[in-house]
């Protein structure tokens, strides 16, 4: 009798843990990609692995990973990148529920926004400790330097300065932090040194272009790529 009563009490108060929603899938991978899930578990991902809302994704040295999201948007992560899918909500029939928030703690990426970015661009944001990136129907690159960009080439031969570097291939982005806001359009570059310094445009000869290996950048299915332009690009 006591055992049955205990089971009944547990049943009354037990609530099943909801499964995190799938946000996308890994389509290209060269190296090791891990995901720390919202429930605290960790997993090594492979091509065709699902990416879930709440995942903290991490690429190891020499690893590039390409993710295709449910709404058709895509992100390519560079080596040494930590990217968290803070929120991801998409329903083709309910535009009002759209939401994409990604937080890049280190490293770099290229991104092409999907349907959410086209129909609800104000619902898409990429966050860093230096500045937040809002989109305008966009293909852009972002690189966050924290004394770890020594292997990134520049025209002056010196490593890029610490801070958030962006470049825009199509559309536009808005960089903003507590010190100010600036819009960066197609063909332009931007930079924010820290959260207390206004983001600014950068002359093309000083801009940092985030490129990817052709094996990751090229999408054989559509013929379009995520690199410097719409086609495949060489490794930075």
- pTM for the full predicted model: 0.84
Mean pLDDT across the stretch 148-152? 91
Using CB atoms within 10 Å of the CB of residue 101, give its burial: 0 to 12 exposed, 13 to 18 middle, 19+ buried: middle
Q: State whether the Cα torsion 28-225-113-180 is positive or negative.
A: positive
pLDDT in tens, 162-193: 999 999 999 999 999 999 999 999 999 999 99
- CA–CA dist 203, 37 (Å, integer): 40
* 118 torsion bin: left (phi>0), alpha (psi -120 to 50), beta (else): alpha
| Burial of 214 (C-beta count, 10 Å sphere; 0-12/13-18/19+) | middle
Q: Which pLDDT does position 9 carry in this prediction?
A: 44
CATH topology of domain 22-217: Jelly Rolls (2.60.120)
What integer pLDDT is reported at residue 94 of this predicted model?
87
pLDDT value, residue 153: 84
């Amino acid at each position: 009798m006591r055992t049955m009563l205990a089971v009944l009490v547990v049943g009354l108060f037990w609530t099943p843990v909801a499964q995190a929603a799938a946000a996308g899938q890994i389509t290209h991978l060269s190296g090791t990609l891990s995901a720390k899930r919202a429930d605290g578990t960790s997993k090594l991902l492979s091509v065709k692995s699902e990416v879930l809302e709440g995942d903290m994704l991490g690429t190891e040295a020499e690893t590039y990973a390409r993710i295709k999201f449910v709404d058709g948007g895509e992100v390519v992560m560079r080596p040494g990148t930590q990217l968290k899918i803070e929120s991801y909500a998409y329903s083709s029939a309910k535009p009002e529920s759209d939401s994409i928030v990604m937080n890049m703690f280190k490293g770099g990426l290229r991104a092409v926004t999907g349907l959410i970015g086209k129909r609800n661009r104000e619902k898409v944001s990429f966050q860093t400790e230096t500045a937040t990136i809002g989109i305008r129907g966009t293909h852009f690159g972002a690189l966050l330097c924290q004394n770890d960009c020594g292997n990134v080439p520049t025209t002056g031969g010196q490593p890029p300065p610490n801070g958030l570097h962006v470049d825009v291939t199509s559309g536009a982005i808005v960089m903003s932090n507590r010190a100010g806001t600036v819009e960066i359009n197609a063909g332009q570059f931007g930079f924010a040194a820290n959260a207390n310094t206004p983001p600014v445009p950068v002359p093309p000869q000083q801009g940092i272009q985030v490129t990817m290996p052709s094996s990751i950048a090229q999408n054989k299915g559509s013929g379009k790529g995520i690199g410097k332009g719409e086609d495949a690009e060489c490794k930075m």
